Chains A and B, each alone.
Chain A
Amino acid sequence: MSLVKVGQLAWRNLWRQRRRNVTMLVALSFAVMGVVFLNAFLRGMTAQMADSAVNNMQGHVKVLQPGYLDDPGIDKSFVLESEWSPEIPAGQMQGWARRVRVPAVIMSERETRGIELIGIDPAQESISFVADWTIEGEGLQGPDDRRILVGKSLAEQLETVAGRRLVIITQGADGRSREAGYRIAGTYQSEASAVEKLYVFTGIEAAQALLASDAVTEVSVRLTDAKHQPTVLESLIATFIGLNVFTWQTLEPMAAAMMQMSDAMIYILFIIIMTALVFGLVNTVVTAIMERYREIGMLRALGMRAGAVLLQIVAESTLIMLLGVAIGTAAGGGLCLWLSDGIDLSAFAEGLEGFGMASSVLVPMILPADVVFVVVASVVMGIVASFFPALRAVRLNPLEAMRH
């Protein structure tokens, strides 16, 4: 029997037994859709974890003076030329920021707290979570803005509000203590109250004026894709000789370890989900074929050769599998596209409402390699799954099979 004939027969059979095949098709597409979506969901989850570390003022790569991490202060700083910007190929860098970060003490009429004073150029902070915050009052207007931006929790502790004044005391470049009064431009609300209590922002030039220095304590670079990290790291090491150039993984080993751990979890979950998918495919296909023993016996009794019957059944399964995988992949992809603004997880859990938007919204991320894997694995498993029960069926004595 020619292959064309086999294909024709298989195609006709699919239409003849519409009821069963539609049920099968729906189950297959649904399983594939679920896996494609879940996979994108898990990928989105890890991407977001990395993102939140990068967002937390780390960037992908950061330049620091040696010793700054152990003992942060303006004495561990370096000078940038006025028109300096990182030499990174366009398209690889999302942005960069220069900052002055020093420990300081902040005082209101009532309370005193230890904080970190961060001088920023607001225009550069699109690379960190500063850009995502909701601000009550006004934000900082430029590098020379002499006002401060404080966290909402800190403002509450200090019993103060936007428009009032606070005093900041810190150690200047000469090692002497310096203090100055600042007006509060606004209060910001972040995801974590720990951040709100610690970080106080002002214009970078205002911070340098207070510290009597024209240096910065860090340069942070955010890339468009984490895969450029090694090359950018190398090029910055070559530029900043004598300084420390670190990746966020080095700066936040705990977060990096956590992320690796969750990567491992995702790996396990993916295996479990793939098992569910393969089980679903095999189960559906095997059930469908086992129910057809009678028909197979009939075909054999009519004189169709075993090889041809086998080929026909496998061809049928392959067709339906391809169709199911195509529909499922399209539906899964469509679902991800539809949710590309992100899934707001806070809607599903108590206790997340107070949480900043950025980190409770998860954007599914489709990786072509994952989809190819799911598609190939499904089709191959489907064919293998149909082969063995079909083989068993054609090996049966036709009479026996018909009595089934």
Chain B
Amino acid sequence: MSAGFSLLFVRVGWRNLWRNRGRTWRTAASIAVGATIVIFGMSVQKGMYGDMIDLATRLGSGHLQVQHTQYLDDPRPKYLISGAESLARQMEALPEVAATTVRAEAFALVSIGEKSVGALIQGVDPERERVVSDLPKSLSQGTYLAQSDHAYVGAGLARNLGVDLGDEVVVLGTGVGGSVAAMVLTVGGIMETGQSAVDRSVLQVALPALQAAFGLGDGGHRVVVNLHNIDAIDRAVEAIQPMLTRGSVIRDWKVLMPDVDQAVALDRVMGEFIYVILILIVVFNIGNTLVITILERTREFGLLLAIGMRPQAIMGMIIVEALALWLVGCLLAWVLSTALLAYPVMVGIPLESMGVEELVQGFGIPVPDALYGGVDARTVLMGPLAIGAGGLLASMFTMMRIWRLQPVEALRDEE
């Protein structure tokens, strides 16, 4: 094909678009609306899926944790990360990392008078804990570790012990070297998470108090890391790896919460299913629109054939037209979906309006107030690309009959 020839059908195609402006805008608009629906649907779905991980990691695990290699399977106090605080500070300097905190843990007996109950004692840094986890938000009475000798007690545990705000409890456990570890604490706050397993077994204290009582030095058991963007998790792990000393390991939320990982994986498959059907509906529809439009132009093609245009040139002309329509449609779609998504991405769709709040209140469950949209290359490109491919295929397939078309018959075509 010579350059002049190819320019010809590009020119004819271009002119055709301008000649029948009504049809051009209509088709471009339907491509735009179709693509917008897919982009919007995928972004909303992606946002929801992001919320689920966020919600779960905010229950305490964080996105990443540095632990002793043994600690996950066998949580004993001796499996420590020493120099945890400096490691946390070092990690905080990474661009991917949003926040870190150090936690130490020990199982111990909590007693008041004659009554004793076993509990998981967590030593935390109150200020940083607030940023990383939602447990401080589950405060139902009192304050969150306002003083260094305060305890933040699960509501169930408090009921079992029969303690109230201001009561003094004694914590007795075994320190690292096998020594007796003891603490006297004042109940400063009570938490109600709605998860009975947490409420009946967790007691938080200030980290230094736990470190001193259990002989942990400057060590912690979990260095919790939260990222700005969970999609950057692999890069963050790679950057953190060289900072680790022997015997410590970095674990992501999938390892820390396999059940949530499975639920998310399942959710993602279902999401994919929904995308596929949504895209199929839209692509099929736009393909159909293009097919009808092409079928209506049989007469025009007959005329072009009659005055000597080659079938492949007509095919080329249709492809040029389709591509131009697609491009215009996509540009419109991106503008439209940016406008549509601005609200859910920035502000969120309030869950309250959908009756969720009702249940959340009274339990202090950290459910987000709103659903947020999530946007990435996939959500923005997948719909337009599928529509482009589907539309082009449908057009080309319909145009195949141009080779069999008899100009005279085509000119008589009524449709």
Contacts and interface: CB of A to CB of B under 8 A. Distances in A.
A71 B160 contact: yes
Q: Which of B159, B349, B354 has the most CB of A within 10 A?
A: B354
A35 B41 CA distance: 14
Contacts of B296: 20, 291
Contact of A275 (B27, B37, B48, B354): B37
Given A31-B285, A70-B159, A276-B41, 6 more contacts: A24-B292, A71-B117, A71-B159, A261-B351, A273-B281, A284-B292
B148 interface: no
B17 interface: no
A71 B156 contact: yes
Contacts of A288: 292
A269 B37 CA distance: 11
Contacts of B295: 19-20, 23
Interface of B: 22-23, 26-27, 30, 33-34, 37-38, 40-41, 44-45, 48, 51-52, 73, 117, 156-157, 159-160, 194-196, 199-200, 258-259, 261-262, 265-266, 268-270, 272-274, 277-278, 280-282, 284-289, 291-293, 295-296, 349, 351, 354-356, 359-360, 363, 365, 367, 371, 414-415
A124 interface: no
Contact of B292 (A67, A287, A343, A351): A287
Nearest to B59: A254
A369 to B, nearest CB: 18
A177 interface: no
Contacts of B200: 69-71
A38 interface: yes
Contact of B196 (A41, A42, A69): A69
A254 B195 contact: yes
Interface string A268-289: 1100110111011001101110
Contacts of A251: 196
Contacts of B51: 261
B188 to A, nearest CB: 20
B270 A38 contact: no
A265 B284 contact: no
A20 B415 contact: yes
B359 A283 contact: no
Contacts of B30: 279, 283, 287
A268 B261 CA distance: 24
B195 A41 contact: no
Nearest to B350: A264
A253 B365 contact: yes
A17 B117 CA distance: 82
Contact of A268 (B52, B156, B349, B359): B349
B277 A291 contact: no
B277 A34 contact: yes
Contact of B278 (A23, A26, A273): A273
A338 interface: no
B40 A272 contact: yes
Interface string A226-252: 000000000000000000000001010
A81 B320 CA distance: 82
Interface in A149-190: 157
B277 A38 contact: yes
Contacts of B258: 192-194
Contact of A290 (B26, B259, B270): B26
Nearest to A265: B48
Contacts of A23: 288, 291-292, 295
B367 A257 contact: yes
Given A23-B288, A257-B359, A362-B270, A291 B265 contact: no
B269 A273 contact: no
Contact of B351 (A264, A275, A280, A291): A264
Contacts of A262: 48
A26 B284 CA distance: 9
B281 A31 contact: yes
A276 B281 contact: yes
Contacts of A26: 288
Contact of A260 (B73, B355, B414): B355
A388 interface: no
